[in-house]
Amino acid sequence: MLQTDNLIPDFINKQITQAVMSLRSGNVVAFPTETVYGLGADISQPQAIQKIFEIKGRPSSHPLIVHFANLSELEFWAENIPATAWILAQHFWPGPLTLILTKSNHIPLSVTGGQETVGLRIPRHPIALKLLEQLGSCKALAAPSANRFGFVSPTIADHVKNAFNDKIEVILDGGPCEVGLESTIVSCIDKDVTILRPGGISVLSIENLLQQKVSVKSQNKIRTPGSLSSHYATATPLEICQSSESLFSRSFDLLQQGIRTAVIIRSIHLIPMLNSDDKFHYILMPNDPVAFGKDLYATLRKLDDANFERILVEAPPDDLEWLAVADRLSRASYSFTSK
């Protein structure tokens, strides 16, 4: 367990106390986690859970991740926990990992979309942990990402304020999220370990820990944009270019057509070929999957706000370390490929 007290300034501690009161009265509060900001509600209050779906505009059949603070409570929330799940939980919690397990009867079906399984996670952001600890033992928060359904997840408090200011009583500001992409979701139902969503914990570190290969459910879909749901879509159509050559020629085409285009690149050698002006703008992102993932959503939001007509992205390398970034880019490209 992280020692949270000396990491949190006094004024935030006061806001946490306010947030706990708000949660106890059945309201929804926004809080930072190390992955993205969450929209939390006390799982023991059905109307509060209902509010999450209403505020987000999300269908109530979509299951929510349940956040709690103490590993010792895992058996309170889940049943038939396999050995691999214990190994993962002990190693990666608190952290950006969600385990899908058989739910206990302390988890209401309204949280799981009617399923007998539940997504559980102990986040590692000190504000999230403090909030959960103050809420009390055997209490938990259902918390989806704090964005409107289908949009890019928020990685700073302003993203949440811009979307929901009038609808949420308390928005705790913990600064920019350290990871910037959602948690890795690992299903530990039955004996198999399956990655359902790549995210903040890499597939390689899971395989190294378990000393076994794990299957990645969405992997074969990642290079097939358009077959995915519109989750994480940008408002501006986004195209992924598989090579520097195709990126360069596509930029040129769009420029010829007078289409205002923003280009996200990782390769420094492309810079001399690209000139930024009012119709064309390039952004050099870090050529490292962790640093790229941390900046990705904030960059996509900035480009959306800047009224570009098209976003082009240099495809990430085709390897496991880049899987989470490739997955989110592919989902973001829906707005273009679905047309």
Least distance (Å) between residue 120 CB and ligand TXA? 9
* Separation between Cα atoms, residue 32 and residue 200, nearest integer Å: 15
Q: What's the gap between Cα 273 and its chain centre?
A: 33
Among 15, 22, 110, 145, binds ligand TXA (CB under 6 A): 145
Do 98 and 119 meet the contact criterion of CB atoms below 8 Å apart? Answer: yes
Enter the DSSP assignment of 284: E
Nearer to ligand TXA, 110 or 117 (CB): 117
In whole angstroms, how close is the CB of 290 to ligand TXA at the nearest point? 15
Nearer to ligand TXA, 22 or 155 (CB): 155
d(CA 39, CA 62): 14
Q: Say if residue 191 is exposed, middle or buried (CB neighbours under 10 Å; 0-12, 13-18, 19+).
A: exposed
Q: Determine whether the annotation assigns residue 183 to a binding site.
A: yes
CB of 119 to ligand TXA, least distance (A): 3
State which residue, 16 or 157, has the beta carbon closest to Mg ion: 157
- Identify whether 94 is preceded by a cis peptide bond (ω within 30 of 0): yes
Q: Is 197 annotated as a binding residue?
A: yes
Interface with Mg ion, residue 145, by CB under 5 A: yes
78 belongs to the binding site for ligand TXA (CB under 6 A): no
Which residue, 41 or 265, is less far from Mg ion as judged by CB? 41
Site string for ligand TXA, 176-195 (x = CB under 6 A): ------xx-x----------
Rounded Cα distance between 97 and 253, Å, is: 42
Is residue 200 a contact partner of residue 34, using CB atoms and an 8 Å limit?
yes
Per CB under 5 A, the segment of 142-150, 168-176, 183-191, 214-222 that binds Mg ion is: 142-150
3-state secondary structure of 137: coil
Query: CB of residue 6 vs ligand TXA: minimum separation in angstroms?
Result: 24
How many angstroms separate the CA atoms of 301 and 102, rounded?
A: 36
Torsions phi, psi for 325 (to 5 deg): -65, -45
Residue numbers of the site for Mg ion (CB under 5 A)?
Answer: 145
Residue numbers of the site for ligand TXA (CB under 6 A)?
Answer: 33, 35-36, 38, 62-65, 96, 98, 100, 112, 115, 117-119, 121, 123, 143-145, 182-183, 185, 196
